[in-house]
Amino acid sequence: MHFLASGFARLARGLTLSIGLLLAGLMPAAEAQIIAVPSATPAAGGGQIPSQLYFNALPNYYNGNYQDSLALFRNEARNGIKTVNSQWIDAIPYYTMAGECYYQLGQMPAALENYDAALKLYVAYSDWMMRVQFPQNIAAARNAVRATPWGQSKRGAPAGAFAETYLMGQGQIDQTQVARQGGVIQAAVAFPVNVAEIVRATCLAIRRRRDLMGPVCKEDPLTQNVVDVLSRRPGPPNHWSEAWVNVQLGCAFAAAGSLPQAKTALERGLLVAGQFDHPLTSTALLELARLAMEDGDYPQAMNLCQEASYACANFPNPTNLEEAFRMGSLAHLLLNQKGPYPPIGPALNWSRTQAPRHLHASLLLLAAENMAVLHQVEEAAEYLKNARVAMGRSSLTRARLGAEMNYLSALVSYQMGNVPGGDQSLGQALQFQQSGSLWAFQIALADKRYVSGHASNREASLLYEQVLRDPTPADWRTHPLECHSVLHANKEAALEHWFELSMDDAKQQEQAVQIADRARRHRFYSTLPMGGRLIALRWILEGPVEALGDEGLLQRQNLLAHYPQYAKMAERAAQIRTELAAKPLVAAAADAKREQEDQLAALEQVSRSQEVVLREIALRREPADMVFPPLRSTTDVQQSLPPGHVVLAFFATKRDLYAFLFSNDRFAAWQVRSPVQLRKQVTDLLREIGNFDANHALSQADLSKSNWRTSASKVTDLLLDRSNVELTGGFEEIVIVPDDMLWYLPFETLIVGPPDRKRPLISLSRVRYTPTVGLAVEYGAMQKPRPNVGVALGRLHPQDDDTVAAEAFRRFAPAVAGAVALPHPLTAPSNVYRVMLDGLIVLDDVEPADGPYAWAPLQADRGKTAAASLESWLSLPWGGPQQMILPGFHTAAESGIRKGRPDGSEVFLSVCGLMSAGVRTVLISRWRTAGQTSIELVREYAQELPFVPPANAWQRSVQVVSDATLAADREPRIKKASPGAARLRAGHPFFWSGYMLVDGGASAGSGDPTKLPADPAAPGAQPANPPVGGPRPQPANPRVNGAVPRSILGGGRPGAPVPGQQAAPAADPPRPQALPAATRNDGAGR
């Protein structure tokens, strides 16, 4: 079997029929001007169509020398046959194969341009087959190949005998009308035309455009033009050549999305004269196989692919043969059949001497994937090595097949435990995909179609919904490399355009909320390894079942069944966590400490092994939904909101800022009128609150001013301008979803309420934040019955001595159930040690770092290993604190957002990172105040968490502490007062508005706020987990039958000043006990 010799034999030169201007003297020259020109100028390669130079270039293309082949195809397109008006049909294969070179090289726009050029020529000369001098009948081929090394056809159709070329006339023989009326005489010419090659190229251009354009293809006018001209059956009527028209029409119908019609046309085109295979049979079979794959009929697809490969034996087509093996192998893998795909072995042996380089290398890669799926890793690695050798110095290593080789090399490297090698190979594959990804190109096409005005709003909305989807299970099974590519692709502009499109239609504005969440998730995923694929797998395999849903639970079940080694490791990790949970958080005895160290070390080792397997799974054809952050419809979120709860969400595009306010029964959306002015006003507010730099000290005069209220009122007005929305306080809880610089805005300070009772928002409503709208409502209870609250002791302020935090812990530990001072150093890296914690309070300054995940949640662990960073917390082991308090975190708000143009990303990504690691609630500072007020806010908040939802606890904490008297000597960011100066209360927003309560709708205790645990101070009650070395916690508030006191829900005690409203100077109370110095964690709490 030879694929290039017989198929591309030299063709005979054409016969030119010259017609003289015999009629030129019949009319006076003044009445008619006659110009005699040939109808077409033959190409330099001779009169054959396509040229011999074209056929000479094909072997080079099939051997992967794309750059050299491209130059030849482009040259033939320039020098091909020219008509009076344009190029002719010989350029169809030139442009198609130039497009193929660009396609293989990953240059998608140039590839599409050439396919378009080919099909435009076809539309212009769609009736060209009408002028071909076909024989009336076809006979059976002599010496036809009946079997291939990899199998034999079961269809029973003999191969027909077709000439390599047929004569085709072009021009006019009767020139009488031209002679009478004047004009151009087109001399009649007969060309020998390789009809099958032009039809093959036409089909290939149609099919490849469908690959490149995806869902955009059926909306493109050229696609419909091709369908229209082919529907007119442009060929000899009632002739065997109708089969070739049918194959082209079937491909065109498929490109237009008319799949039933495509199937009918393709089936009609399988045989000529109802009995013979022909040069386009393999194309028809492949398109039918593709339709079967898309319909999920994998057995039928595999059978059709095998038949397509057999059809290539008599009618050589290396492109179709490679695709038949590739699609057939995929169907085999999706059917989970035992062993490798049967045809690969014999075909591989045959290809070593008989096939072009591209086909041989592709078969080696298919063999490698089959071996990798069977976990025959050494064999897979050997096939990959041979594939690299086969590609040699051709363009293949830098082309599409090279990207597939690098992707499989990454998979096999992970299987062999070589994570750095796998990361390197995956990076090389994705580097090609930056320009070569079909899915990313389709996003760009859809976006361009909308922006240019070529798509209606409805069409654009449907296109965006298709191309900007999360990878589906079908996507992961069929195109895993494309899925990885789209997770890394920059989709920001397309998402913004889709969002703006929805905002323009009042009926689609609720959908715009979900689109904004898609954009937020994309911002998060794009910063993660593998674009969020690993996070998705960790949640599917290890996350709480309440967050997964039925589909996620089924995916977990399938993955654990397919990867038993991972299941065993996960079981061992869970066992270690259970054993650790049964013992004290801080071991007192030396032998107990050694045992804890050993168990944590074992957990760390198991988790590393799990992470290696996760990387293998991530590259396999395994579905895993992107369950975190959850993507929910606006209707779903609304239905989940309790009465009295509202969501205030913002979304910033590159040009504008939009806002949404909705409850369970109302919805409003608007565009913020002046984002530039709003940024300036937020800056002014932050400055008037006291934010100039991280350690700027305020004077008592600063704390006595109320200028911030004016700025806060202006910010409120700018946010709500022309919105028809009034924040009058008619709700119990508001969930803020900030964006851009609004992450720095303390919404708690916004002045709201009826005109006669304007007050800060925090005094009228509970306030919490979430990074996405999907997280605004609860997504599964994750509380543990026995809290272990670790407290990391350090220095919240550079001026603190080493004992301040330790003494602070001594004071609030009795009030916080389960509070234990963490040892220094820890008995394991913090990303492992965290699994023993249900809560974490970091009384330490959190030093900023380069990158959103480079900072260390436990500062005592920073700088030692990579396991100290938040990035390491995103990895296994699963588990850790569900509540965190970070009063020492820094953001751009502490400098009044005047340095550069901060966009809130350091806050958004840090919060998303923490929550993706299992944290449900985090109290995090925008600016670090340190001092006694900060400690008291933390204490009041933390002691209430076991009894009430976090938002309730935080509102109460602000109300209680803002009524406390300031002690300037215990506030490092307050200038020392002069003797005899009046004492002030902590009602200034500098102290309490610098905190964000980020909470995913978590409830108290078991997750149900109406079912509070028994009062630990009730008679006979026992503490859930007494702190080591400290007394049992005492209740913060009296309760009757477990009810929450009215003061917590209703705005504080009667007569308490509103937060932010400075009360008259208080009389000197008894001086509180001073906080003595202490060393940085000398084992306090052990």
pLDDT tens-digit series, residues 828-840: 999 999 999 999 9
Q: What is the pLDDT of residue 412?
A: 99
How far apart (Å, rounded) are the C-alpha atoms in residues 853 and 871?
5
What's the one-letter identity of residue 292?
Answer: A
How confident is the model over 907-924, as a mean pLDDT?
Answer: 97
Count how many residues are written for the chain.
Answer: 1086
Residue 914 is encoded by which pair of tokens?
């923490």
CA dist., res. 817 & res. 12, Å (int): 94
Distances in Å between the Cα of 892 and the Cα atoms of 253, 849, 898, 1006 are: 56, 13, 8, 36
State the pLDDT at residue 1036: 40
Q: How far is CA 298 from the centre of its chain?
A: 27
Looking at residue 177, what is its pLDDT? Answer: 60
pLDDT bracket for residue 907 (50, 70, 90): very high
Query: Does 1 score more than 90 pLDDT?
Result: no
Do the Cβ atoms of 391 and 357 come closer than 8 Å? yes
- Cα gap 424→380, rounded to integer Å: 18
The per-residue pLDDT for 722 is 85
Taking Cα atoms as reference points, which of 564, 544, 570 lies closest to residue 627?
544
- What is the phi/psi pair of residue 290, to 5°? -65, -40
| Percent of the chain predicted with pLDDT > 70 | 84
How does residue 553 score in pLDDT terms, banded at 50, 70 and 90?
very high
pLDDT for 935-978, tens place per residue? Answer: 999 999 999 999 999 999 999 999 999 988 888 888 998 988 75
SS3 assignment for 101-151: HHHHCCCHHHHHHHHHHHHHHHHHCCCHHHHECCCCCCCECCCCCCCECCE
Report the predicted TM-score, pTM, of the whole model to 2 decimal places: 0.87
Q: Taking residues 752-765, report their average pLDDT.
A: 88
The closest alpha carbon to 92, from 236, 84, 100, belongs to 100
pLDDT at 861: 67
**Cis peptide bond prior to 629, omega within 30° of 0:** yes
Radius of gyration in angstroms for the set of CA atoms belonging to the chain, rounded to a whole number: 36
Go through 317-334 and write b for each residue having 16 or more CB atoms within 10 A of its CB, e for each that does not.
Answer: bbbbbbbbbbbbbbbbbb
Tokens (6 digits) for 600 = 């944590």
**Residue partners of 509: CB distance under 8 A and separation at least 6:** 502, 503, 660, 667, 669
pLDDT at 1086 over 60: no
pLDDT tens-digit series, residues 994-1040 = 999 999 886 554 334 333 333 322 333 333 333 333 333 344 443 33
Calpha distance 645→394 (Å, rounded): 63
Kindly state the percentage of the chain with pLDDT values over 90. Answer: 73
The 10s digit of each residue's pLDDT in 728-743 is 767 999 999 999 999 9
**C-alpha–C-alpha distance, residues 950 and 817, integer Å:** 15
Report CA-CA distances (Å) from 756 to 728, 761, 881: 11, 15, 43
pLDDT in tens, 1054-1078: 333 445 444 334 333 333 332 223 3
The DSSP bridge pattern shows strands 751-752 and 759-760 to be antiparallel
- Pairing mode of beta strands 657-662, 645-652: antiparallel
Q: Is the peptide bond before 877 cis (omega within 30 degrees of 0)?
A: yes
pLDDT digits (tens, 9 = 90+) for 410-448: 999 999 999 999 999 999 999 999 999 999 999 999 999
Query: Average per-residue pLDDT in the chain?
Result: 86
Q: Residue 797's closest CA among 699, 690, 930, 692?
A: 930
Residues paired with residue 159 on neighbouring β-strands, in sequence order:
277
**Which helix (H) or strand (E) segment is 767 a member of?**
strand 766-769
* pLDDT reported for residue 728: 77
pLDDT computed for residue 899 by the predictor:
81
DSSP 337-383: -SSS-TTHHHHHHHHHHHS-HHHHHHHHHHHHHHHHHTT-HHHHHHH
Q: Are 670 and 503 in contact (CB under 8 A)?
A: no
Structure tokens at 755: 């005109």
**How far apart are the C-alpha atoms of 513 and 896, rounded to whole Å?**
29
- 3-class DSSP assignment, residue 981: coil
pLDDT of res. 180: 63
- List all residues 6 or more positions away from 283 whose beta carbon is below 8 Å from its beta carbon: 200, 203, 204, 207, 247, 251, 317, 320
Top-confidence residue, 522 or 694: 522
Q: Alpha-carbon dihedral of residues 927, 933, 938, 943, nearest 10 degrees?
A: -160
Report which of 272, 274, 347, 358 is spatially closest to residue 313, judged by C-alpha positions: 347
Tens digit of pLDDT for each residue in 395-415? 999 999 999 999 999 999 999
Rounded Cα distance between 569 and 566, Å, is 5
Give the pLDDT of residue 1040: 30
Q: Where are the alpha helices (DSSP H) in 543-642?
A: 549-562, 564-581, 590-619, 634-640
Q: Which residue has the higher pLDDT, 48 or 643?
A: 643
Task: Centre a 10 Å sphere on the Cβ of residue 538 and count the other Cβ atoms it contains.
Answer: 22
974: helix, strand or coil: strand
DSSP β-ladder status, 819-821 and 789-793: parallel
Name the amino acid, one letter, at 827: T
Distance separating alpha carbons of residues 990 and 93, to the nearest angstrom: 72
